[in-house]
Structure 1
Amino acid sequence: MQLGAEFVGTFILIFAATAGPIVNQKYNGAETLIGNAACAGLAVMIIILSTGHISGAHLNPSLTISFAALRHFPWKQVPGYILAQVSGSICASFALKGVFHPYLSGGVTLPSVSTGQAFVLEFIITFNLLFVVTAVATDTRAVGELAGIAVGATVMLNILIAGPSSGGSMNPVRTLGPAVAAGNYHLLWIYLVAPTLGALAGAGIYTLVKLQDNEVDPSRPVIRSFRRNTSMSV
């Protein structure tokens, strides 16, 4: 059940997030950068709201690995989750290839800047994403009820920042599936390594800076929320 939800959630995410750039290419900029960012951000939001209570809506191997490394998620479930995510991404990408062929190249993540710049950008935006995800998923003082909106907005913001430069992937399977379907593996390693390192750093830094229960100042108002275990992402 959890793996099925993770597969379907990743399929929807990759289909939507990749379709935006493809439509943009096919129809001469109809989507624009804001449209591309909205496709990914809105997809993340609706998937978290619909499947977060089933699988946690990871949708991203970097998130799954980071949560396991920080003991928010069992390592024994990591291979199954990653397999579901990779499978969902590849299936969505071949579905897009069938629907939009020959315009799949528009959805392939490629940098327009140097390799080093793309690597740093992907590291930073994934750091941002996992900092937010770790807050809403693991900290009882974060606004967990609005997790879908918070994470979706972070994805949209990151794409607005990095989309024209690195592609704004933040997720190895966002790049892997379209690369397989298009047969274009140019600089694929950036989008496998940088998001994973950025995710580990973002999740780790939030874990370090968050207040423990015995450190809360009772005189300071805090928005309370319920705990969401292992939830959310891109």
Structure 2
Amino acid sequence: MDDRQPLIYTNKLDTTQNKGVFNRFILPCSAEFFGVCLFVFVGCMSVQTGQVVTIALAHGLTIALLINGLGDISGGHFNPAVTLGATIAGGTAPVVALLYFISQLLGGMLGAAFTRAVLPTDVYGNISAGGHALPNDVGPGWGILCELILTTVLVFTVLMNAIDNRTKNKLAPLAIGFAVAVDIMAGAKTSGASMNPARSFGPAVVGSSVTLAADLWEYHYVYWVGPALGGLVTGILYRLLFASSEQRWFGRGSERKIQHDI
């Protein structure tokens, strides 16, 4: 059993390396910025294929690779909703979470700008900048509910595979990548399956300069409210029910007896 402190999603690097401002804040925030930039670029570029499975795998595999490479530096959130859930779960300090949030939004805009730079204008417009918009037959309420549930799947996977002391494991990056992929396969035709405000915000900002097939701002709040609620609800449920005894808000110290009785 690996008894090391969890590095993925916690930003708890070795204290001997964590004394300076650079290692505590600048380096992790740079990793979040860089990771989201690459994630948004690959994600937006994959939309031009028009194939849900391809788009899902592009997002899922990219997240798995980025977490595997950068997880021990920043925790590999690459998503404000994940940062929110991880903060509530006790895996990330609030000040760090705020800095991550800013870094993620900036990274998303740069990744979207790279997409705009490499795609012809007509292709870029036809894929609506690779951003997210609700189909005509889906109302904002249903879109928010869809994003909430999909984000819950993602954040719950993060908490149980990368934060919880009982269930964290070395396959966490793969599990989280799978969660992103299956969520997109399930929800792409309903809400676009963003689960990530930074992934939606970047293309909406950069795409504003081009006439697009869809108005990315009309229901843009859906891609903030849904993921935020998903991260909030999942973080609270984790601390109330599913966390290990030392991380749970209530019922601490009873876990050993429950396991013995079962």
TM-score by length of 2: 0.77
Structure 2 counterparts to residues 1-234 of structure 1, below 5 A: 1-21=27-47, 23-24=48-49, 29=50, 32-102=51-121, 103-105=123-125, 106=127, 107-112=130-135, 113-183=138-208, 184-210=216-242, 211-212=244-245, 214=253, 215-216=255-256, 217=259
Secondary structure of 1:175 counterpart = helix
Note if contact 1:68-1:74 (Cα within 8 Å) is conserved in structure 2.
yes
Note if contact 2:116-2:206 (Cα within 8 Å) is conserved in structure 1.
yes
CA RMSD of aligned residues (A): 1.7
CA distance in 2 between partners of 1:203 and 1:65 (Å)? 8
| Alpha-carbon offset, residue 143 of structure 1 | 4.1
Structure with bigger gyration radius = 2
| Alpha-carbon offset, residue 186 of structure 1 | 2.0
TM-score by length of 1: 0.85
CA distance in 1 between partners of 2:97 and 2:198 (Å)? 15
| Alpha-carbon offset, residue 65 of structure 1 | 2.4
CA displacement 1:85-135 (0-9 Å, x = unmatched): 011100010110011132334111011122111111001100111111111
Q: Which amino acid aligns with 1:206?
A: Y
| Alpha-carbon offset, residue 187 of structure 1 | 0.8
Q: Which amino acid aligns with 1:188?
A: H
CA distance in 2 between partners of 1:198 and 1:170 (Å)? 8
**Which sections of structure 1, spanning at least 5 residues, go unmatched?**
221-234
CA displacement 1:50-103 (0-9 Å, x = unmatched): 000000011111222232234321111222211110111000101100111323
Q: Which contiguous aligned blocks of 4+ residues in structure 1 show a shift greater than 6 angstroms?
A: none
**Which sections of structure 2, spanning at least 5 residues, go unmatched?**
1-26, 209-215, 247-252
Q: Which amino acid aligns with 2:231?
A: A
Q: Percent identity?
A: 28
| Alpha-carbon offset, residue 218 of structure 1 | 5.9
Q: Which amino acid aligns with 2:181?
A: M
Larger relative contact order (Cα-Cα within 8 Å, sequence gap ≥ 6)? 1
CA distance in 2 between partners of 1:54 and 1:93 (Å)? 24
Q: Which amino acid aligns with 1:109?
A: H
